[in-house]
Structure 1
Amino acid sequence: MFTLPAPTFREWNGPLTEDLVRDPARFGLGQLPRRLQPNGTAKSICGFCSTGCGLKLHLKDGVAINATPDPDYPVNLGTACPKGWEALTPLDAADRATTPLLHGQPVDWQTAMNVFCEKMKGVLDQHGPGSAAFISTGQMMCEEMAFLGSLTKFGMGLIHGDGNTRQCMATAVTAYKESFGFDAPPFTYADFEESDVMVFIGANPCIAHPIMWQRVLRNKRQPQIIVVDPRTTETAMAATQHYAIQPKSDLTLLYGIAHLLIREGAVDTQFVSESTTGFEEFSTFVQAYTPESVAAATGLTVAQLQCFADTIRAGTPRVSFWWTMGVNQSHQATRTAQAIINLALMTGNIGKPGTGANSITGQCNAMGSRLFSNTTNLIGGHDFKNPAHRAKIAEAMGFPVERIPDQPSLAYDQILEGIESGKIKALWIIATNPSHSWINQKRFNNLLSKLDFFVVQDMYGTTETARQAHLFLPAAAWGEKDGTFINSERRIGFSRQVRRAPGQALSDFRIFRLIAHAWGLGDLFSEWTSPEAVFQILKRCTQDQPCEISGIQDYAMIEKSGGIQWPLKVTDAAAPGFATERRLFADGRFFTPDQRARFIFDPTVPPPELPDADFPLILITGRGTSAQWHTETRTAKSEVLRKLAPAELFLDIHPEDARQLNIRDMSVVMVESRRASLTMKARISPGVCQGQVFLPMHDPRVNQLTHWAVDPFSRQPNYKHCAVRVSPSTR
């Protein structure tokens, strides 16, 4: 049994030792880190979305009391969205978790650790290493993700663990790996300002990534802005060309545009010949996607298709392609992302200013999760199945190589199916709220009752998921711990501690360190004393990888440089004044064995749930406001942000559909899918096309309606398409 030598255990700045709990003041418990001035300012990176904005945190008596945008940070250049201005507010919420809970009752950390180890070891001993799993998040720091993934897989002996980044970025990861040879977004945010044409596909940056949209507005080249989206979104309203396609016909559209470019000789043949492979096969494949057939499938006209193709044809100076969840959350998501990549390759729009096939990430550290969470990829972008990679990581970490698993994890949906089948008996969820966010919510929540042991680790014990936990572990939040985030443009930024966590809450890093000691793994993780110590380990893990960061000395260098984009080798860092804005593939060489990018494609297939006579409408979901974030776990704590977002749930419906269904504006309606029915108010809007309705994803009820389907390659859920019916409510 693990025993803490003191009755309480609180956050600290030093390493975990028995001396800590005997004499916490010796380690600066409750004090501001010495490097900060009690009444000065500190710089940090916002912990909400993947933009990675720089913030100035203003301190009074050693406590951060306000946040303003950092005018010197190269990402946001002195601007911030509403969430950034309110970044500190969620830390002061009345329902912050302050103590561990066992079946809803407060316990001390000693009891929590004893229960955690006893129950987890019991499951693993009885049912084997595949019987327990974890689901983590893109909200933790890189160092915390690496600690969790290494602790569970190299220490505790788990095989399976995935992250909620599966819900947002798995498609981009899979597409980039197959097409480029590595998960490598090629762009920098300066490309927003240097494009002559910007194509946004399934992306609404005006709402989802407002600071990126500010960068678009700074473009002085008078760019053409093309938006491909079924809805007339806020971004579409600002477009020079909006293509309101039928939901999930984007893959057909992209193949049709490729057909036109090839037919008219509007291809960069030199780049294709020197830097790609598979183009001839792709050219043959898209011959079937004629303008007439594509127009019929997408709802566009042949003239619109021609206009689109003419705007991006080879010879146009600078064309950039941008996509996010409208592409990633689809039944053919990976091939759609690769169809975008194919267009960039065939027109030579890669590796140059204002170009690129550019995936906009979701969460603040989804890019860090992709590289360092140690879930479906071995840490540092390596492969669990590769013996040389396992040996390299073992040496870099100082672990016995036999501790490195030789198989990747099941994906998120497969972990859940493992619970349903009875193969997975224990689940540990960290900093995510799938009882709200996972597709077909009722089915997910029914699965939790099948678990022998369910642990949730979060900053609030009041989330829909946390309330169902057997054991709850209270975690510190952004601003209460140090570490690094990696944003959409591969920029590593330093987020610092400027607050104390409340009560007995600990940073995720310290919780993992405490578990390591309780499990008996203290010696194995003896080097993992602080986030910055782990950052040095991660540097070793990335050597000779496309994402190498050996040239970053320490946190101080990151902060002084205004963040640093990977890769940065020691030789690059030694060069005078290395560039703060750096693109990949400028030399036309990729990370595949032959250094050529690949054209990858498959035939289109219909969505898994089509409308019919009983459920005649298509429900699409998405972000509804720039003032709320995902499941509103943090943003709903802010009175300001609540006032900036709708207080009620509204269903957007086309005027003609509303007329036919006898629905009036602001009247109460019932929305039904094959899984659930909900009541809400209708909002008649020409922004949605006839035959479609729209709901914002933030409301906790919406995913009762959505359909459990995933892309076969990325395993990313298809949130954006299911069949529903709408009728006036008798309520």
Structure 2
Amino acid sequence: MLTRELLREPGIHGLGQVPASLAPNGTTQTVCGYCSTGCGLRVHLQDNVGINLTPTTEYPVNLGMACPKGWEALTVLDAPNRATTPLLKNASGEFVAVDWEVALREFTGRFQSIQKDYGTESVAFLSTGQIPCEEMAFLGALTKFGMGIKHGDGNTRQCMATAVVAYKQAFGFDAPPYTYADFEESDCLTFVGSNPCIAHPIMWERVMRNGCSPEIIVVDPRSTETAMYATQHLAIAPKSDQSLFYGVARILIRNGWIDQKFVSDSTDGFNEFATFVDDYTVSRVAGETGLKPEQIERFAETIHERKRCSFWWTMVVNQSYQGVRTAQAIINVALMTGNLGRPGTGANSITGQCNAMGSRLFSNTTNLLGGHDFANAEHRKKVASILNIDAERIPSEGSWAYNEIMEGILKKKIRGLWVICTNTAHSWINQNLARDILDRLDFLVVQDMYHDTETAQMADLVLPAAGWGEKEGTFVNSERRFGVIKKVRRAPVQALSDFSIFRLIAESYGCGEMFANWDSPEKVFQLLKECTRDMPCDITGTADYEMIEANGGIQWPLSEGVTEFDQERRLFSDGKFSTPSGRAKFLFEPPKSLSEPVSEKYPFVLLTGRGSASQWHTQTRSSRSAVLKKLYPIDPFVELNPSDARQLGIRPNEWVIIESQRGRMRAMTLLTRSVSAGQLFIPMHYEGTNQLTDAVFDPYSKQPSYKSCAVRISKDSSSTASARQN
């Protein structure tokens, strides 16, 4: 049996040897597998096994720095709740350990049976931004071209879809234009709904190295840790940032503070935009944002007076029912002032997960491999030729988005789901409904490095996967830099790399011949290179993993024939974009009010976001580190303004109940003026948070609006009663 033969191949799973190229007791270079910063880490080896790590001093990303998560990256591999063998749920609802042959037979038999009964589109997958490009591409090609699965999306839909669409519509391609040197070279940095002090600490360290005496402007309803360093903190009303940037644009235009040459040579639609924003007077914008007129005027004046302005945004913009147009409101201000393509400038989306940028190019979900378009026949033909497959096997349209897949399950159009390296039952918006939807599936497979995630516990079959440090491949960080990850540990017991699991499933599903040459991540990397040829993300000038490592990572693009290049490069320095006209587009439309406004019954606006530098997403990994767990509150907490607390009779460190129309959670109060009256803040990492959030989506990006919904807060009567009894 071929499956059995593959399982015996050296290195096919976690029991395979650490590569012999590593010095048994030396060090090796890798990149971190947590966030999109992409820090360089030097792993220290003993008897060919990674036992410790230190940040790499010469790596151009982090320059010898690391955040708490990076320091603990190896520790979480030793957690006792690692998934070490396939688990199959029996008729009693209990998991039973099985071998890989049984697991693969169950996987293939159940999914093929569903497809036979309900059609090939009745099975879907949900992937991640936390596995290497080569694994993402293998999954996307296996499902779309081999298994006949049309619909699959990634959890990058939850964090980066808005930025992707905003860039595509404005620039013609998903192209974050910056390099991290811009943090140090800008004389005015504007952070919109971005708290890098907590969310991306190493990026914030780069800001702290800035020697230009920069203005630091923070646009955020909360007084975040980053806002505390700001020279200007614009504490706007939630979701009013679109109006703010339209008002700032009007001031710049009325005062003639625009780069007329750049606008004329490199953009389209400026006159229409100027007409549109003329209605956004200072008084109107002050009313909509809650800012003082002089704050708005000073913001515009600062942009004019400074020479190198950069604009940075993250999830508060992206995770919004109007995120795309808000991101483009920021892009518009950068365009009209010529703050693109020069050092210290840019309209810069900061990515979330370690390989979300790689997912955007290579997951083969809504985009065809290499940034191509499923709907373009020439693109399909090109990719088919590179992969040596029949072009007819490539769908002529992209997948449903994440929310549409969930809706498809609810409508019984999708009956089988394969979840890889993500935790939908915790992270998806309106969690109670999400769990109800997952529970309706005929067959749920979860592939993860831990067997006890909320989603794994709901699965019919759990496939044990290797984690970062136990496999090879490439990540692409926020500044478009490819970095190489190394295998420095063996995965435990029967756990396999995702790459190996996909290879085994291809054989089991009957499409193994299509992927006969996909026998190592680096071979797949060579295919991905060809898929980028002549695209804006062209990396055909990157020879191999060794070249990437030797150059401290390589930013795309780097086309074949280019032999001399800078270690840090930004896009659009020539004023040319990837649209048919070569010009960037001004895009705009009227902002909308809050999708769920406060009411008498639910009088507070709930804000969510990162809680600390030591927490990560649903805490699947970060909670496995004893060190990291000491650096943040284990119990959920809610930030509440003291004036609201007084009115409600709520004291500090008191258990309360927060409720929305969709659910309720229990949390401990933290009284602080970092949130304004009428607002609450709860970190996104706690399981209960997404029981409250509202399942509304941006119409262009389909990204969920996690950041604002209407809630109420009250004392937890059960804890009060318990306290009295004690």
TM range (shorter): over 0.9
Q: Which stretch of the first structure deviates more once superposed, 641-650 or 496-505?
A: 641-650
User: Out of 287, 302, 310, which is 2:293 matched to?
Assistant: 302
2:149 corresponds to 1:151: no
In structure 1, the residue matched to 2:68 is 82
Which residue does 1:379 correspond to in 2?
Answer: 369
Which of residues 452, 468, 472 is equivalent to 1:462? Answer: 452
- In structure 2, give the amino acid aligned to 1:730: S
CA distance in 1, matches of 2:580, 2:532: 18
Which deviates the most, 680-689 or 165-174? 680-689
Task: State the SS of the aligned residue for 1:234.
Answer: coil
The equivalent of 2:572 in structure 1 is: 585
**Which shifted more, 544-553 or 260-269?**
260-269
Quick check: 1:694 aligned with 2:688? no
Cα deviation, 1:500-522, whole Å, max 9, x if unaligned, reads 01011000000000011111112
1:32 and 1:38 in contact (8 A); partners too = no
Match of 1:557 in 2: 547
String of CA shifts for 1:349-407, please: whole Å, max 9, x gaps.
00000000000000000000000000000110000001010001001111111111001
| Counterpart residue number, 2:599 | 612
- Say if 1:5 and 1:648 are closer, same or farther in 2 by CA, change over 3 A: closer
Deviation at 1:662, TM superposition (A): 1.1
Paired residues of 2:3 and 2:507 also in contact (CA < 8 A): no
**Structure 1 counterpart of 2:231, from 214, 224, 240:** 240
Aligned residue for 1:255, secondary structure, equals helix
Aligned ranges 1:469-548 → 2 under 5 Å: 469-548=459-538
**Whole-Å Cα distance in 2 between the matches of residues 693 and 10 of structure 1?**
55
Question: Where does structure 2 lack aligned partners over 5 or more consecutive residues?
Answer: 90-94, 719-726
Is the Cα–Cα contact under 8 Å of residues 551 and 570 in structure 1 kept in the other structure?
yes
Q: What is aligned with 2:587? A: 600
Deviation at 1:205, TM superposition (A): 0.1
1:634 corresponds to:
621
Contact 1:11 1:29 survives alignment (8 Å): no
Q: 1:663 to 1:611 in 2, by over 3 A?
A: same
Shift of 1:10: 7.0
- What TM-score, normalized by structure 1, do the two folds share? 0.96
Counterpart amino acid of residue 402 in structure 2:
Y
Q: Are 1:249 and 2:249 counterparts?
A: no
TM-score w.r.t. length of structure 2 = 0.97
Counterpart CA distance in 1 for 2:81 and 2:637 is 27
Letter in 2 for 1:584: L
Map 1:362-511 to 2 at 5 A: 362-511=352-501
Task: After TM superposition, give the deviation of residue 678 of structure 1 in Å.
Answer: 1.9
**Is 1:340 the counterpart of 2:330 in the alignment?**
yes
CA contact (8 A) 2:127 2:153 kept: yes
SS at match of 2:370: coil
Could you tell me which residue of structure 2 aligns to residue 621 of structure 1?
A: 608
d(CA) in 2 for partners of 1:481, 1:495:
7
Q: Partners of 2:111 and 2:656 in 1: how far apart?
A: 46
Distance 2:302 2:423 in 1: 42
Identity of aligned residues (%): 60
Secondary structure, aligned partner of 1:122? helix
The residue type equivalent to 2:602 in the other structure is F
Quote the Cα distance in structure 2 between the aligned partners of 1:491 and 1:694.
Answer: 33
| Aligned-partner residue type, residue 427 of structure 2 | S
Determine the C-alpha separation between the residues in 2 that align with 1:5 and 1:243.
62
- Cα deviations by residue, 1:150-191 (Å, 9 ceiling, x for unpaired): 000011101100000000000000000000000000000000
Q: Name the structure 2 match of 1:45.
A: 31
Does structure 2 retain, via aligned residues, the 8 Å contact 1:434–1:465?
yes
- Name the counterpart of 1:13: 11
The amino acid that maps onto 2:114 is V
TM-superposition CA deviations, 1:425-444 (whole Å, max 9, x none): 11000000011111100000
Change (3 A) 1:458 1:729: same
* Partner Cα separation in structure 2 for residue 727 and residue 249 of structure 1: 27
| Residue number in structure 1 paired with 2:100 | 109
> What is the CA–CA distance in structure 1 between the aligned matches of 2:30 and 2:343, rounded to whole Å?
28
Q: Is the 8 A contact 1:654 1:684 kept in 2?
A: yes
1:62 counterpart = 2:48: yes
The equivalent of 2:92 in structure 1 is none
Question: Which of the residues 331, 345, 348 maps onto 1:355?
Answer: 345
Residue 671 in structure 1 maps to residue 661 in structure 2: no
Which residue is 1:24 aligned to?
Answer: none
User: Once the 2 structures are TM-superposed, how far is the Cα of residue 32 of structure 1 from its aligned partner?
Assistant: 2.5
Partner SS, residue 44 of structure 1 = strand
Which of 639, 647, 661 is the equivalent residue of 2:648? 661
| CA deviation after TM superposition for structure 1 residue 3, in Å | 6.1
CA contact (8 A) 1:11 1:506 kept: no
For the residues of structure 2 that align with 1:432 and 1:32, how far apart are their CA atoms?
26
Instruction: Please tell me the residue identity of whatever aligns with 1:235.
Output: T
Task: Report the secondary structure of 1:570's partner residue.
Answer: coil
Distance of 2:624 and 2:255 partners within structure 1: 55
Structure 1: stretches of 5+ with no match in the other structure: 17-27
Which residue in the other structure is 2:283 paired with? 292
Alignment of 1:78-227 (within 5 A): 78-103=64-89, 104-227=95-218
How far apart, in 1, do the equivalents of 2:696 and 2:617 lie? 20
CA distance in 1, matches of 2:430, 2:418: 20
Cα deviation code 1:466-485 (max 9, x no counterpart):
01111110000000000000
- Which shows bigger deviation, 59-68 or 481-490? 59-68
* Mapped pair 1:71 → 2:57: yes
The alpha carbon displacement at 1:272 in A equals 0.3
Q: How big is each residue's C-alpha offset from its partner over 1:260-288, in whole Å with a ceiling of 9 and x where there is no partner?
A: 11111111111000000000000001111
> Partner letter of residue 663 of structure 1?
I
Please state how far the C-alpha of 1:29 moved relative to its aligned partner. Answer: 5.3
Query: Which residue in the other structure is 2:321 paired with?
Result: 331
Instruction: Name the SS of the counterpart of 2:569 in structure 1.
Output: coil
State the shift of 1:9 in Å: 3.9
Q: Name the structure 2 match of 1:25.
A: none
The one-letter code matched in structure 2 to 1:77 is L
Q: Report how far residue 648 of structure 1 moved.
A: 1.7
Instruction: Indicate conservation of the 8 Å contact 1:378/1:408, yes or no.
Output: yes
Does the 8 Å contact 1:193/1:215 carry over to 2? yes
CA contact (8 A) 1:193 1:354 kept: yes
Q: Matched residues in 2 for 1:449 and 1:316: separation?
A: 55
In 2, Cα distance between equivalents of 1:521 and 1:426:
19
- Contact 1:100–1:108 (8 Å) recurs in 2: yes
Amino acid at match of 1:206: C
CA contact (8 A) 1:208 1:623 kept: yes
Q: Counterpart of 2:112 in 1: which secondary structure?
A: helix
CA distance 1:179–1:11, shift in 2 (3 Å): farther
Aligned length, in residue pairs: 713
CA change 1:10–1:100 in 2 (3 A) is farther
Greater mean deviation of Cα atoms: 61-70 or 225-234 = 61-70
- Structure 1 residue matching 2:263: 3-state secondary structure: helix
